[in-house]
Amino acid sequence: MFTILTGAQFGDEGKGKVVDLLAEKYHIIARFQGGDNAGHTVVVGGKTYKLHLIPSGVLLGKRLLIGPGVVLNPRVLMNEIETLRQEGIEVNLGIDPKTTIIMPYHIELDSLREAGRKEKIGTTKRGIGYAYIDKFSREEVQMGDLADPALLDAKLDEIGPAKEKAISDMGGDPSIVRNSPAIAEYLEIGKRLKQHLADVSKEINMALDIDKSVLAEGAQGAFLDVIHGTQKFVTSSFTTAGSACANLGVGPVRVDNVVGVVKAYMTRVGEGPMPTEQLGDIGERLRENGHEFGTTTGRPRRCGWFDALIGRKSVYLNGYTELALTKLDVLTGIDPIKICVGYRLDDDVLDYPPEGTEEFARCVPVYEDAPGWTEEISGARKYTDLPLKARSYVERLEGLLDVSISAVSIGPGREETIYLD
Ligand code: GDP
Ligand code: IMO
Ligand code: MG
């Protein structure tokens, strides 16, 4: 069985929690895009694990793969492995040798460019965009290169001068390209991780051949996709389900399920349009109740009402076969709860987001009210334990997106989950 899981909104939908829940049924969990801009949280037994690169199946001892479409910061990966080890968790990891390495100069370029932008994107400054530029311009350092100092040296001879010039032109210190202390550290890590190198496409396909199950874990969300998201306010990778096939090297006919993770309201971190953003009390309340602060950068997340148009587009972009609805508990005590069911744009009312970012930014939400509930719901364990009004809300979202909701999450813990038939 091959399942792909992606975020349906602007990221931080609760993918980490849902992957941890699903992982039990899978042999392999694979990350296919993004890098340590991602922050996936898993809470087990009251303990919180924040994962940036290691797939969220780690707590169940699963085989974990990092595919060649990921951009990887070796320091972050090593830290994560060490932190987990200190907790007594061993990491059974395979990394594709073609995985792009985020070099110190990518991080420097990301920071310099963001500082110089009049209209900011609000990147995580992890060097993601610049590492992907190098993949596409074929000037990347790959994981396999770190296993051999001579190979890395030769690569830096070839691509270094252009990087030095770019950094100087932006007012930075070009010595970071060749003299960063991180480079020696990278080589050390490369040696240590050599035993983990694996042909990810081959391993996944061979596993599927013998009926093993594989879960592809997406990072970010559909509206941060570099093609289909709100360009330019997006990340630099392909975040929708199809990307899992291309990036992991698995044919599309092998896909069995596509799970969308959907938050019961909206959040966004960084700049860019968000039609249902609430700047007043409601936004503050959602942020407080939902602890909506970035897992990677600690920035406060922008919060607002559920947007069914974003949801609909995400269903199209990903082809979801089922949805996991998260953070329903955060809406407790809010009455009425608003749901965006249309956009007003100039003289029109739309039921689907316009394609252009500039038009999208001018959309004014049309809301319907859903009655709120006051009962605490995190203790519910079956669907009928939920108050009627909470169930009506779930069913309304299911109707608007026209995809069945198979799980409702009502708290960060593993057990705070209700499965639906
Ligand atoms: P991801 O990037 O999609 O994995 O999501 P993040 O981990 O960045 O953000 C989701 C946050 O919400 C984390 O702190 C989770 O522990 C938490 N969370 C997940 N599901 C629920 C839920 O149903 N209710 C509440 N209150 N918190 C949740
Ligand atoms: P997870 O996997 C939410 C956002 C950044 C910024 C934009 C570009 O935890 O859902 P980048 O550093 O990628 O060039 O930044 O994308 N962003 C995320 N927002 N969740 C994420 O990941 C994100 N990864 C990137 O805030 O607006
Ligand atoms: Mg996150």
Q: 12 catalytic, yes or no?
A: yes
Closest ligand relative to 324 C-alpha: 1
**CA 337, 338, 339: angle at the middle one, nearest 5?**
125
> Best mutation site among 6, 17, 37 for ligand 2, i.e. most ligand atoms within 8 A of its Cβ?
37
Q: How far is the CA of 177 from the centre of ligand 3 (A)?
A: 30
Q: 40 catalytic, yes or no?
A: yes
Largest Cα separation within the chain, whole Å, is 66
Beta carbon of 55 within 6 Å of any ligand 2 atom: no
* CA separation for the pair 266, 337 (Å, rounded): 12
Phi/psi of residue 89, nearest 5 degrees = -105, 115
Q: Do domains 2-73+201-419 and 100-195 have the same CATH topology?
A: no
Which ligand 2 atom sits nearest the alpha carbon of residue 13?
Answer: 10
User: Cβ distance 339 to 305 under 8 Å?
Assistant: yes
> Best mutation site among 102, 235, 310 for ligand 2, i.e. most ligand atoms within 8 A of its Cβ?
235
Residues 6+ apart with CB under 8 A from 161: none
User: Cβ distance 394 to 328 under 8 Å?
Assistant: yes
Q: What are the sequence ranges of the domains in the chain? A: 2-73+201-419, 100-195
Q: How far is the CA of 381 from the centre of ligand 1 (A)?
A: 18
Please state whether the predicted TM-score (pTM) of the whole model is above 0.85: yes
Amino acid code (one letter) for 120: K
Q: How far is the CA of 10 from the centre of ligand 1 (A)?
A: 13
State CA 321 to chain mean position distance. 19
Helix (H) or strand (E) run with residue 51 in it: strand 47-51
Beta carbon of 11 within 6 Å of any ligand 2 atom: yes
pLDDT tens digits for range 319-346? 999 999 999 999 999 999 999 999 999 9
CATH number of 2-73+201-419: 3.90.170.10
User: Cβ distance 397 to 262 under 8 Å?
Assistant: yes
User: Cβ distance 29 to 23 under 8 Å?
Assistant: yes
Beta carbon of 220 within 6 Å of any ligand 2 atom: yes
Signed CA dihedral, 183, 38, 128, 245: sign only = positive
Amino acid code (one letter) for 229: G
* CA separation for the pair 81, 30 (Å, rounded): 16
Q: How far is the CA of 40 from the centre of ligand 1 (A)?
A: 8
Determine which residue's CA is closest to atom 17 belonging to ligand 1.
Answer: 412
In the structure, which protein residues have their CB atom closer than 6 angstroms to any atom of ligand 1? 7, 11-17, 39-41, 43, 290-291, 295, 326-327, 329-330, 409-412
- The confidence score (pLDDT) of residue 421 equals 78
* CA separation for the pair 13, 172 (Å, rounded): 36
Bond into 336 cis (ω within 30): yes
- Where are the strands (E) in 123-229, listed by range? 214-217
Residue 240 tokens read as 């929708």
User: Cβ distance 369 to 336 under 8 Å?
Assistant: yes
Residues 6+ apart with CB under 8 A from 224: 10, 11, 230, 234, 235, 239
Annotated active-site residue in 36, 40, 106, 110: 40
Report residues of the chain scoring pLDDT below 70: none
Closest ligand relative to 291 C-alpha: 1
Q: How far is the CA of 86 from the centre of ligand 1 (A)?
A: 24
- The confidence score (pLDDT) of residue 309 equals 98
- The confidence score (pLDDT) of residue 343 equals 98
- Where are the strands (E) in 175-289, listed by range? 214-217, 257-263, 266-268
Which ligand 1 atom sits nearest the alpha carbon of residue 289?
Answer: 26
Determine which residue's CA is closest to atom 3 belonging to ligand 2.
Answer: 11
User: Cβ distance 8 to 220 under 8 Å?
Assistant: no
CATH number of 100-195: 1.10.300.10
Dihedral over alpha carbons 387, 389, 394, 397 (to 10 degrees): 180
Amino acid code (one letter) for 196: H
**CA 311, 55, 13: angle at the middle one, nearest 5?**
25
Residue 270 tokens read as 């960084």
